[in-house]
Structure 1
Amino acid sequence: MIRFPFSSFQKLRQVNGWIIGILVLIASIGFVVLYSAAGGNFFPWTEKQMIRFLAGLVVLIAIAVIDLRVWLTQSYILYIVSLVMLFAVEIAGRIGMGAQRWIDLYVFNIQPSELIKITLLMALGRYFHEMTLEDIRKLRYLIVPALMTIVPALLVMRQPDLGTAILLLFAGGTIFFVAGIRLWKVMLICVASLSAIPLLWHFMYDYQKERIFTFLDPERDRLGAGYNILQANIALGSGGFLGKGFRSGSQSHLNFLPEKQTDFIFATYCEEFGVLGGAVLLFLYICLIIYGYRVALASRSSYGRLLAMGLTTLLFLYVFINMAMVMRLVPVVGVPLPLVSYGGTAMLTVMMGIGLLMSIAIHRDVRIGRAGTFL
């Protein structure tokens, strides 16, 4: 019989209250923006988002108090289930806004491409945790984790969802690097990826190519492909330093700004609360990111360290890509702003990730063997 080092009550007391507070603050900013974007109404977005956040908090705490060894032993199973769900999307997925990304469970819809982000990192963490550094540096041992990363990325691209595919590749690549792969191999992969861009171009959808052209020159089609990003830029600029004030954003309230509750919610927020409001939100995200990397560095198990690095990098990519695409620093790829953008599965994914980070923090001093046993 295996004895666990902490009781459930002790673990609950170790849940980081400061991080919970930061999550509440970020989510509350999202509630305020969604309420404003709906014209001062809790329906149709704010009420649902609040319910999702409360449910996410329950999931977060439940994940945090479950022993880290349990997550290690279940990593492959959870990854396989998520991968099967991705294949199911190809067969019976629900189409929405021109993309086939959701599975209708009748009670609610679920987006497997969001869940695979977490389970992929868990599976990669376990794979490298159970290998020696000598094995990791042998090329033949990298074939399996490479396929574990590439297969779901290709399936996600078929939906099509280029943004999520990019997140999968970069977050997964972080675990490869942290696991101890030699730098020259990382550089070789980067060069191979860059050389594959011309080939990838032929497999991209027309609208994805158009987004790249629009990123390079939004003025070429001001009322068509360039309309979204130009309106987002106008909203950002018109907010100034202090913003126009709550419920006073003209771009969003006059419906010039598309996807004001999802992809471009940061533009909606900054138009009303200005650069100062944007800086406050960015500071809250930075606090979460610093917490994640501190958890990774403090973990004494390689699984905890690898998983925490991957999860924190994923959170960073969420924030960076969303804000950067609104500011025209990267092409628009449809990545939501964590806890702020409207969306159920994306909210659940972020809360699951933070819950795993807290589980790693609670068990940071526990050494875990290759089979998942405590040392």
Structure 2
Amino acid sequence: MASCSRRISHLFGLAAALVALLSLVLACEASGSTVPRNGAGFVRTQGPRFVLNGSPFLFNGFNSYWLMHVAADPKERYKVSEVLRDASAAGLSVCRTWAFGDGGDRALQISPGIYDERVFQALDFVISEANKHGIRLILSFVNNYNDFGGKGQYAQWARNAGAHVNSDDDFYTHSTIKEKTAIKSRLLCFQVLVTRLNTITRISYRDDPTIMAWELMNEPRCQADYSGRTVNEWTQEMASFVKSFDRKHLLEIGMEGFYGDTMPEKKQFNPGYQVGTDFISSNLLRDVDFATIHAYPDQWLSGKDDKAQLVFMQRWMSSHWEDSRTILKKPLVIAEFGKSSRDPGYSLSARDDYMSNVYRITYGFARSGGTMSGSLIWQEWIRTTTDTLLS
């Protein structure tokens, strides 16, 4: 099999092209102070910015959701090491990845409250390797979708326990789901992850600055309540819970950026529909440290041409940057963006044009000061007969 290095060099190279520019912006804004890319300290927020060891912290990074899953097989761990090494060499300094796997293949949580130590040690390895290569991690707690379990698995576990569950969205409100998954009882799930003692580094997760932030959920959505109130109430409860035993790490929600009922006039920026979240109200919560958006106009505006998708993307990013600067007054991260190779008309040149535009807009906002603080390109593991790394 060809090395991961060769397969992702083009992807990371595109991101690396702007790292020097963004670092220069920071250096200017910091009045000549050194901007540390790594260091032993925790990343923190200072008003609308991230800071590290007293200096501004701006980053380019990437998503590799599959790291723990792959590392669960010791024979495949070299793939994790290669990706983190190559990302670091390209100047990327933050990686967002899954810290969940509920039921199914290589599950972290086999059943409610029962964990596979072998898979937990795989996550230990990921964190250890990230530290070795100077990469900070954003670790996500649970999935909105059925991949790797998700809220649907929690709902099924509740049904198995005899609870009446109307839909997967009962995940946010059903007392049995909360108790069976130990989210509310403070016995397992979030607490088990945050207080885990790494078997390699011998450092508790909550004491490890390699972890930049916790993410409550990958792309929370709620079809049962499009106003955003249900997810907002769940976010408030979960964020407060996590902060009750870990105030060293930052916390974000995992939202895509869809607007809800708090400011109805903002719904014009949504891609023609809602998903049951409210970007404004949820990110205003005290225990949420920074805001995130995702940007997939090729999927959200399927059938529209590249020009229309670019116009949407510019408005999407601009609106959220302005909200973060004037309303939230917190850092903003573009936590996912990419262009799917599965879409009709896909080409490498179209993908590169799209990504270059995202970086161009990000750079412009970062240069103007304020809240634009980082971007995370989507880098996906696609398993085929030959095992390939593609975006």
Q: TM tier, shorter chain?
A: 0.3 to 0.5
Higher relative contact order (CA 8 A, sep 6+): 1
Would you tell me which structure has more helix in proportion to its own residues? 1
Would you tell me which structure has more strand in proportion to its own residues? 2
**TM-score, normalization by structure 1:** 0.32
